[in-house]
Chains A and B, each alone.
Chain A
Amino acid sequence: MKVDIEINGRTRTVAVERAGTRFRLAFDGRVETVDLARVDGRTWSLIVLGDRPESHEVGLLEGADPGELEIYLRTGVLRARLGSRAATRGPRVGGDQASRAVGAARVTTPMPGKVIRVLVAPGDRVTARQGLVVVEAMKMENELRSPKAGVVRELYVSEGMPVEAGRLLVVVE
């Protein structure tokens, strides 16, 4: 079977076949055989077979969005988006990135807390990295900044308002 996998903005097609604990993987014009042992539900030990079998431990977590996988490696975590070949060929992935670059930027709070200061008003012109809203969480005041230069189109919160993680605060266009 074949699957499209996007990591760090690059999509590659991988052909996978499984026989027992071994997987044969073909991608980028190379073929690898990998042995899998499950350590626990979320941790795999992989050995890439060859003259010098390479040992890797990976942690796997399904991401917040369907089709997203977080892969924990010794060097850090990578996010992969995967799907059948048809699914990721569509305009969704590219469209998402495009809207980030030229369209409206939606500023959300990554953590729950309380809005203690609103630094902008609708219609204000802001520069990239300019502070928009200050949210207090975990005893710290956190200034949430604009990801881009533009104009404040929408302001969804006011001072004193409690906010949930992921709550949309400001739209900058």
Chain B
Amino acid sequence: MKILVANRGEIAVRVIRACRDMGLRTVAVYSDCDRAGLHVRFADEAYAIGPDAPAESYLRIDRILDVARQSGADAVHPGYGFLAENATFARACRGQGLTFIGPPVEAIEVMGSKTGARRAALEAGVKVVPGTLEPLGPETPDAAISALADEVGYPLFVKAVAGGGGKGMRLVTEPFDLAGAVRAARSESTSSFGDPHIYLERRLVGPRHVEIQLLGDHLGTIVPFVERECSVQRRHQKVLEESPSVAVTPALREAMASSACAVARKVGYTNAGTIEFLLDEAGEFYFLEMNTRLQVEHPITELVSLVDLVQWQIRIARGEPLTLDRARTLTPRGHAIECRVYAEDPDNEFLPSPGRVLGLRVPAGPGVRRDDGGVTPGLDVPVVYDPLIAKLSVWGLDRDQAIARTARALAEYEVRGIKTTIPFFRWLLENEDFRSGRVDTTFLDRELARRNGRSFVTVPAESEVVALMAAAMYWCERSAGHRSAAPRESPWKRQARAEGLR
């Protein structure tokens, strides 16, 4: 069996590793700027598919299918992002006789519409966040939307039916702002997803985001896993996840898992997927949406279940029956935490900080797993893709040990040359509310607002003295004519040359 990996970066590397573990051959595709990427170097075969812009390479269904033909691949793994939840792509793969390593096209389609997904959940007997069930198009009069909003109750979210990742989403706290929010959400959704439909959803007070990973085979067996707690979010984007959740008892876990399986069964789901829930303080949980693909945060589930989810995706796709024991997959073995390390400057409103990596020290040791796409000194972090450069996942026997090990690993981790969110995570791991597990989906934005832009880099006075001494020694070495310790593009040399020419 030969597998084409229709993705890049760390997830492409992750899939290739699973294939290697199974003795399967791999085919990579790459855009111009990814020529030296790790996924290219790790794969058995590699094919160029176009310029840097995703729309001209990783989103080009025709080119990826050409590569599949040319390479004689049997199956396609889409990873996450890009074409992973694109029903047209899944259908095109199947049309060409390729195995799409993912769910049936129909399940992607139903779950791709938020209102369709909500209906499926209700039909499966699972509570959804209170709100409207029908998609509201531009033809719906403002007065009708306003009446529906009164029924749903304020504060509420206006959400894009085709939405995801916080796009096309607006919070409305009072009726006066409704019409503007609907217009804004529609226009954002139209430009991002080509779909102007929206729906309304009540905002729950202080909910946690808790999700259930599952696997389904072609014989109808669906196996749920221990929940992931993903409440630590910045502007609706997950930044740190852990498993299990401190808020979930074994009884609640069983209830959430059963609900998740019911929803998946309702849409004939197979392969890996995740049902996202909001969990309120009273322990009530509500279906939020389903992700019909592997997720960024899958490593923490692998760490507490000892199951290789990507290998199972491939085994299921080639028709093998699931042999996992539900009692075991629902019992956490220890505790795991994932930090999403982004090329962003936490001290400058988390703005992207692409550029050339000039130095790297990576964490290792007990409990540490690192997935990255080959961020190596000398390589550029491209500006055109997601700024996720690595995932640091850490396992401990219990939550305290997992936190301690994560903090230790973050202290070892250093990426020089570009800004990353590592200093932010060092701060987060020290936060009292986080350490005691008191988090909901509003926790991080609230804490960040309270910090009001204060730097995450808090270097103690002793360290400042070390820096002072190092700088003086560096000066001494440089003056003595030793080769510069740390040339970047050597601006100093450039300056010296410029002055010499003058």
Please choose the segment from B42-50, B147-155, B252-260, B355-363 that sits at the chain A interface, where 4 or more of its residues have CB less than 8 A away. Answer: B355-363
* Given the contacts A7-B468, A76-B459, A82-B475, A137 and B354 also touching, CB distance less than 8 Å: yes
Chain B residues with Cβ under 8 A from A110's Cβ?
Answer: 345, 348, 351-353
Chain B residues with Cβ under 8 A from A14's Cβ?
Answer: 468-469, 471-472
13 new A-B contacts at CB < 8 Å, known A76-B423, A78-B467, A142-B352: A16-B476, A56-B466, A60-B485, A61-B417, A62-B491, A69-B474, A73-B459, A73-B466, A73-B467, A75-B459, A113-B383, A137-B352, A139-B385
Q: Specify the chain A residue showing the minimal Cβ separation from B487.
A: A62
Whether A64 is near chain B, meaning CB under 8 Å from some CB there, is yes
Whether B414 is near chain A, meaning CB under 8 Å from some CB there, is yes
Q: How many Å from the CB of B200 to the closest CB on chain A?
A: 24
Judge whether A138 and B349 touch: CB under 8 Å.
no
Judge whether B345 and A34 touch: CB under 8 Å.
no
Whether B488 is near chain A, meaning CB under 8 Å from some CB there, is yes
11 sampled A-B residue pairs with Cβ under 8 A: A36-B473, A42-B486, A43-B361, A48-B466, A62-B487, A71-B470, A74-B411, A77-B416, A82-B474, A138-B354, A138-B387
| Cα distance, A104 to B257, chains bound together (Å) | 58
Q: Which of B458, B469, B485, B488 contacts A64 (CB 8 A)?
A: B488
Q: Which of A7, A17, A73, A76 has the most CB of B within 10 A?
A: A76
From DSSP, what is the main secondary structure of chain A's interface residues? Answer: strand
- CB under 8 Å from chain A, chain B span 416-430: 416-417, 423, 426
- CB under 8 Å from chain B, chain A span 69-87: 69-78, 80, 82
Q: How many Å from the CB of B393 to the closest CB on chain A?
A: 22
Whether B386 is near chain A, meaning CB under 8 Å from some CB there, is yes
Chain B residues with Cβ under 8 A from A67's Cβ?
Answer: 492
Judge whether A34 and B495 touch: CB under 8 Å.
no
Judge whether B351 and A63 touch: CB under 8 Å.
no
Judge whether B473 and A23 touch: CB under 8 Å.
yes
Chain B residues with Cβ under 8 A from A59's Cβ?
Answer: 359, 361, 414, 416, 486
* Given the contacts A25-B473, A78-B467, A111-B383, A138 and B491 also touching, CB distance less than 8 Å: no
Judge whether B417 and A138 touch: CB under 8 Å.
no
Whether B325 is near chain A, meaning CB under 8 Å from some CB there, is no
Judge whether B463 and A78 touch: CB under 8 Å.
yes
| Cα distance, A113 to B487, chains bound together (Å) | 26
